[in-house]
Structure 1
Amino acid sequence: MELEVDLGGIFLHNGTYDYDTDYTYEDELESRGAAAVLIPLLFSIVLAFGVLGHTLVMVFLGLKRQSWSISDIFVLHLGLTDVILLITQPFWAAQTALRLGWCCGVFWCRINGALFNISFYCGMLQLLCIAGERYLNIIRSVQLFTQKKPWLTHIVCLVIWLVSILLSIPDWVSMLYIQEKNMDGENLCSCFANIYRSKWQIPARVIHHVTFLLPVILLTIFFYYILKQIQDSAKACERLRSMKLILVLALVFFLCWTPYNISLIIDTWKSRSKTYVPGKMTLLATLALACVHACLRPLIYFGLCEKFREKTLAAAKCGLEDLNGDLWDLGVGSENMPDQSSNPEEMKQINSMGQQSDKV
């Protein structure tokens, strides 16, 4: 009697098993726990407050468009970066809440990631531009933006948008590598985790990290010299008040975006290993904190800008009033530099007294 053993089922199967695409990481999906509820809730709150706040800001800007100041122009473009970030909120919320992850298809995964990065680059560069203008005005006595040439401010802001789009090109190219093979049924396990899985991962990440770290260094230098100059001046309190808004805007931006960038740096470092599996929930949690920034700027304006707060409360009570004048106290493009006297008559008297003493 011969014993026949059929091994064809083992040795004839020569296919490969792709753990990146075929394995859905069930343990991670089941371990979401409270995050699957809290993170979408956070996104929803940010979206509600962000839409309400930025609608109010845009209405005010629209009503005073005939008398825009330099600060109004920058507030407009800063608001647009937040609006773009708000657009991505429902998609991130859906990815976190649904058990299978991303459900909007490859196309919207690419668009969502691109908008997210453009918002980050543009917001960072605009804050750097405002702080640089303040540095030139206060330290170097250079008037970069003036009310006589508002078109220059618009051109600078448009250039910032263009640079932001160019910086995001590696992200766009990287996202083109997200194909249908990365999809489980009709759901990407994680749009966010798969965005950089291509040969463009390192260039895209390097640009992102440099665009975060270099402005941090430059802003630190700008604010150090500005605050030092203000502290040594005779009107320190008054001049510090004029810098308060930009300082708070920059601080809140970094508090919101730093955890996400740190987690991204760690992910970039660890992704060199072929066996590394990205911590999707960690990245999504820090991404959610970064997105909180999209609703904070109107709240900062309301808390620190006295004129904006007064106009908002007046509008809530009895309708809109005259909106002429600077609502934001941002200081950009101010005609009188901080080192100059705020009273022109005093300057004339001081100069005339100096000329008389020279004649004597």
Structure 2
Amino acid sequence: MIQHQVLDDFTFLENYSSSYDYEENETDFCCASPPCPQDFSLNFDRAFLPAVYGLLFLLGLLGNGAVAAILLSHRAALSSTDTFLLHLAMADALLVLTLPLWAVDAAVQWVFGSGLCKVAGALFNINFYAGALLLACISFDRYLSIVHATQIYRRGPPARVTLTCIVVWGLCLLFALPELIFLSARYDERLNATHCQYNFPKMGRTALRMLQLVAGFLLPLLVMAYCYARIIAVLLVSRGQRRLRAMRLVVVVVVAFTLCWTPYHLVVLVDTLMDLGALARNCGRESHIDVAKSVTSGLGYMHCCLNPLLYAFVAVKFRERMWMLLMRLGCANQRRQQRPPSSSYRDSSWSEITEASYSGL
């Protein structure tokens, strides 16, 4: 039986196969049974994924492009948190740039060749990991600043935050090496189509899933949960209600990350347990898992579009800087050039996060 998925769940883009083995692994025990029919999940994916990916591509590119433009327009005054948020917006924007390719793959087949298959798969995973690790970096920076009154970026060399970002991107590139090595455009006789998929056995697929779960979700989530639990406890004890309100942007961003990606990882974990034989596998369950992976992966990608909306609704300075940028571009009424009351805050950052971190307790 041939296991067939786009990026083999590791990149969240299923190629709509419920079987669970590869051509290179024909001697596995699973091969004694015929593959399950896939008509329902295939038809669902062809209708669902292109529409969702197209919408998320437009929203994610516009929203994250606006965030990057606002931050870069004030790059001389960026704090460490703002720098991390800039890299986060870049990661989200680059991730959604790959979605049109997967939309075509879902609707028809992979028509872009093996070279672009490797590049698109690696780019997707680099930016997925970068989003999670950058949120963890922001959490740790806030934790040191508020809980331990240690401002390693503000008082250290200016290049320290840049070096941290370089290390994060380097780790992400390392995690994406399997895509560059093992992904290729391959013809599937059962589907009568070419798709971008891995060319290694099932155990390699399981190892990559575990790497994704641990390095791309669990570890960053544990770092964020611990840091913000300690921060909120300190602010509550010190009665720092204003600073606690100022932390709301990052807390909301972290909560959004958790809600968007947890369902997907739970579904993939169930699928992995079925692959390993820990859970019974049958055709009905496979079909439900395939559909669940498509729906929850779309929810995960939605996180790339949510961050700019959260900034707009939660961060006062973001709205102010957005309005100033629109006026500069001639897209807003020049008569409303008066700055809103929020301009009384410091101009060191458009985000309220820095206000809480560097004002002390």
TM-score range, shorter chain: 0.7 to 0.9
SS in 2 for 1:41: helix
Structure 1 CA distance for aligned equivalents of residues 86 and 269 of structure 2: 31
C-alpha change, 1:210 and 1:169, in structure 2 (3 Å) is same
AA paired with 1:163? L
* Contact residue 308 and residue 327 of structure 1 kept, 8 A: yes
CA–CA separation in structure 2 for the residues paired with 1:107 and 1:198: 23
Tell me the amino acid that sits aligned with residue 91 of structure 2: T
Distance 2:300 2:186 in 1: 29
Q: 1:68 to 1:221 in 2, by over 3 A?
A: closer
Determine if the alignment matches structure 1 residue 257 to structure 2 residue 258. Answer: no
Residue 30 (structure 2) aligns with: none
Supply the distance in 2 between the matched residues of 1:291 and 1:162 (Cα, whole angstroms): 22
Aligned residues: 314
Q: Structure 1 residues 263, 103: closer, same or farther in 2, change over 3 A?
A: farther
Partner Cα distance (1:288, 1:267) in 2: 17
* 2:127 counterpart letter in structure 1: S
Which deviations, in whole Å up to 9, do the C-alpha atoms of 1:143-180 show, x marking residues without a partner? 1210663311111011111111122334544x34x564
Partners of 2:46 and 2:35 in 1: how far apart?
16
CA distance 1:276–1:149, shift in 2 (3 Å): farther
* CA–CA separation in structure 2 for the residues paired with 1:276 and 1:180: 26
Residue pair 2:105, 2:111 contacting (<8 A) in 1 also: yes
For residues 296-335 of structure 1, the aligned pairs below 5 Å read 296-314=306-324, 315=326, 316-318=331-333, 325-331=348-354, 334-335=357-358
Give the secondary structure class of the aligned counterpart of 1:92. helix
CA-CA distance at 1:297 after TM superposition: 1.1
Alpha-carbon shift at residue 306 of structure 1 (Å)? 0.7
- TM-superposed CA distance for 1:39, in Å, is 2.9
Which residue matches 2:54?
44
The farther-off stretch of 64-73 and 154-163 is 64-73
Match status 1:125 vs 2:133: yes
Q: CA deviation at 1:227?
A: 1.1
Residue 202 (structure 1) aligned to one of 195, 199, 206:
206
- Taking the aligned partners of 1:124 and 1:91, their CA distance within structure 2 comes to 23
Q: CA deviation at 1:332?
A: 8.2
Change in Cα spacing, 1:114 to 1:50, as seen in structure 2 (3 Å) is: same
Q: Given the alignment of the two structures, is residue 108 of structure 1 paired with residue 141 of structure 2, yes or no?
A: no
- 2:272 corresponds to: 268
Q: Does 1:188 align with 2:188?
A: no
Give, in angstroms, the shift of residue 62 of structure 1.
2.7
Alpha carbons of structure 1 residues 43 and 332: separation in structure 2 relative to 1, 3 Å:
farther
For residues 49-75 of structure 1, give each alpha carbon's deviation from its aligned partner in whole angstroms, at most 9, with x where no partner exists.
112112222222232233333233112
- State TM-score, norm by structure 2: 0.75
Q: 1:199 offset after TM fit, Å?
A: 4.7
1:150 maps to 158
1:223 aligned residue: 228
**Unmatched 5+ residue regions in structure 1?**
1-18, 340-360
Would you say the 8 A contact 1:46–1:291 is kept in 2?
yes
Q: Per the alignment, do residues 116 and 30 of structure 1 end up closer, same or farther by CA in structure 2, a change over 3 Å counting?
A: same
Q: CA deviation at 1:197?
A: 4.2
Displacement after TM superposition at 1:334 (Å): 4.5
Name 2:305's counterpart in structure 1: 295
Is it true that 1:234 corresponds to 2:239 in the alignment? yes
Separation of aligned partners in 1, 2:199 and 2:260: 21
Distance in 1, matches of 2:250 and 2:273, equals 33
The question of whether the paired residues in 1 share the 8 Å contact of 2:139 and 2:223 is answered with no
CA distance in 2, matches of 1:283, 1:157: 31
Cα 1:30–1:103 change in 2 (3 A) is farther
1:134 and 2:149 aligned: no
Structure 1 equivalent of residue 4 of structure 2? none
Which residue type is aligned with residue 221 of structure 2?
A: V
> Is structure 2 residue 173 aligned with structure 1 residue 165?
yes
Q: Which amino acid aligns with 1:152?
A: R
Q: Percent identity?
A: 28
SS of the residue 1:331 aligns to: helix
Q: When the two structures are superposed, what TM-score results if normalisation uses the length of structure 1?
A: 0.75
User: Cα gap change, 1:70/1:20 in structure 2, threshold over 3 Å: closer, same or farther?
Assistant: closer
Contact 2:243 2:356 in 1 (8 A): no
Contact 2:41-2:290 within 8 A present in 1 as well: no
CA contact (8 A) 1:58 1:76 kept: yes
| Other-structure match for 1:354 | none
In 2, distance between residues paired with 1:84 and 1:333?
30
SS of 1:145's partner is coil
Q: 1:11: which partner in 2?
A: none
Structure ID, larger Rg: 1
Amino acid at match of 1:42: V
8 Å CA contact 1:53–1:298 kept in 2: the answer is yes
Q: 1:198 to 1:35 in 2, by over 3 A?
A: closer
Relative to structure 1, the CA distance from residue 63 to residue 147 in structure 2 (aligned partners, 3 Å threshold; closer, same or farther) is farther
Q: Per-residue CA shift, 1:258-298, capped at 9, x if unaligned?
A: 12211221222222359888654432322221111111111
Alpha-carbon distance in 1 for matches of 2:191, 2:264? 29
Counterpart residue number, 2:294: 284
